[in-house]
């Protein structure tokens, strides 16, 4: 009995030791797996150019401007449903409007139609999408003098769009080019977190300017590459948006609550962080760009460093232009965001808007972001764009 009991006790201890060893082995494997994954993430983030952190650019808009963005999306969707390509859309007029409710654009468009497309099909496609955003009385169809269908859209009694649907009866005659083309500058924002996407935009066959976020992992190497190609580099200066702190502009942000010395010290650190910068444009900033005192403080430093400022115009109440005039700072502001809607047809639509503004004013500034859809559309459309406008560096359009 005693012998059997001793044997059983020995077997039990042996089993416990075996279980302990197995547990230690499993724990060790788990630790090795976690450690190995961490090393893998570190390696891939550095050597395969995967961004360490996603960067989301937020341009808050309210009132009419916000509603126009929704209407534009409805128009894109209706055109897609009717199989009308972006190439058959022409912006005849893009006219800026402003009142107590904000800043917006009135747009007049011509859309070429295949002869087989009926007016009833057009009305059905547009009403199905527009009626979800605005009331029926704000959607008005009429027939023009040549029996072409005309669609007028309004938001709170503000006329925002006129769309003329023109039946395509014959090939469009070639439009003679003017003796000098209007000038367009396109800025690619939000660079610094992904070397691979930056290099893709750099090899596009057209003049681009590039804006880098301060304190981003690859700002210096990307800036050196851009500088070597002779392109313009901007500091993409993080500024407080109206949604702060729910929406944070990132490292190096300038905030409305900062004391003047703190704000200017942070500005200087941001400027020093991005080598070869010839100017600055704001990242977010819908709140700070409405503060005249803060913008004058910022512009004083930019003036001393012989830098210009491009207002991304994230707020219709921006005071940047007045502050720049006061200090005689070289200044310009964007006209079009190209890729708020990351859909190829929508981006083409915005490119046409930019070209239309350039034709009217002689120049225009567009801002885009390092999205795959943006790269694909620019890569495809740049040859066509260069027949209609002269692509220039952003420093060529500041005054």
Q: Give yes or no for residue 10 having a pLDDT over 70.
A: no
Q: How high is the mean pLDDT of the chain?
A: 85
pLDDT at residue 62, as a whole number: 62
pLDDT of residue 382: 97
Between CA 168 and CA 114 the distance in angstroms is 6
CATH numbers and ranges of domains, the chain: 63-167 (3.30.460), 183-396 (3.20.20.370)
pTM for the full predicted model:
0.76
Q: Which of 395, 374, 354 is nearest to 182 (CA)?
A: 354
Q: Which pLDDT tens digit goes with each residue over 344-355?
A: 988 998 999 999
Whole-number Å distance between alpha carbons of 276 and 224? 8
Cα separation, 291 vs 298, in Å, equals: 11
13-17, 45-49, 201-205, 281-285: least confidently modelled range = 45-49
Q: Which residues contact 335 (CB under 8 A, 6 or more apart)?
A: 354, 357, 364, 365, 366
> Are 68 and 156 contacting, i.e. CB atoms less than 8 angstroms apart?
no
- pLDDT over 70 at 72, yes or no: yes
**Hunting for tokens 């200017």 — which residue is that?**
264
The CA distance from 112 to 165, in Å, is 6
pLDDT tops 80 at residue 248: yes
β-pairing, 183-191 vs 363-368, is parallel
User: Residue 95: pLDDT band by 50, 70, 90 thresholds?
Assistant: confident
């Amino acid at each position: 009995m005693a012998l059997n009991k001793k044997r059983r006790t020995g077997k039990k201890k042996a089993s416990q030791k075996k279980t302990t060893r197995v547990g230690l082995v499993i724990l060790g494997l788990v630790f090795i797996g976690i450690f190995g994954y961490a090393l893998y993430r570190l390696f891939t983030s550095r050597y395969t150019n995967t961004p360490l952190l996603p960067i989301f650019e937020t341009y808050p808009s309210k009132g009419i401007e916000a509603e126009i963005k929704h209407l534009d999306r409805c128009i894109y969707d209706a055109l897609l449903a009717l199989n009308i390509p972006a190439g058959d859309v022409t912006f005849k007029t893009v006219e800026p409007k402003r009142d107590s409710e904000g800043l917006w654009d009135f747009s007049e468009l011509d859309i070429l139609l295949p002869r087989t497309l009926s007016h009833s099909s057009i009305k059905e496609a547009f009403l199905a999408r527009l009626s979800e955003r605005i009331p029926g009385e704000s959607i008005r169809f009429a027939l023009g003098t040549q029996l072409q269908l005309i669609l007028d859209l309004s938001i709170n009694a503000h006329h925002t769009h006129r769309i003329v649907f023109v039946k395509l009866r014959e090939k469009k005659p070639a439009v003679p080019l003017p003796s000098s083309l209007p000038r367009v500058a396109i800025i690619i924002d939000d660079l610094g977190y992904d070397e691979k996407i930056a290099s893709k935009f750099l090899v596009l066959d057209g003049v681009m300017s590039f804006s880098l976020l301060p304190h981003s992992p690859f700002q210096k190497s990307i800036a050196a590459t851009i500088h070597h190609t002779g392109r313009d580099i901007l500091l993409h200066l993080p500024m407080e948006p109206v949604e702060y702190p729910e929406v944070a502009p990132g490292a190096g942000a300038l905030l409305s609550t900062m004391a003047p010395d703190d704000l200017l010290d942070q500005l200087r650190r941001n400027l020093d962080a991005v080598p070869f910068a010839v100017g600055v444009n704001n990242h977010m900033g819908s709140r700070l760009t409405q503060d005249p005192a803060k913008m004058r403080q910022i512009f004083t430093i930019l003036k001393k460093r012989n830098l210009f400022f491009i207002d991304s115009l994230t707020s219709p109440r921006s005071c940047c232009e007045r502050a720049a005039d006061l200090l005689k700072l070289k200044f310009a502001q964007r006209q079009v965001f190209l890729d708020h809607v990351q859909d190829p047809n929508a981006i083409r639509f915005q490119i046409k808007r930019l070209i239309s503004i350039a034709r009217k004013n002689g120049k225009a500034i567009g801002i885009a972001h390092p999205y795959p859809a943006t790269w694909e559309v620019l890569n495809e459309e740049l040859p066509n764009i260069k027949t209609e406008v002269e692509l220039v560096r952003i420093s060529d359009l500041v005054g």
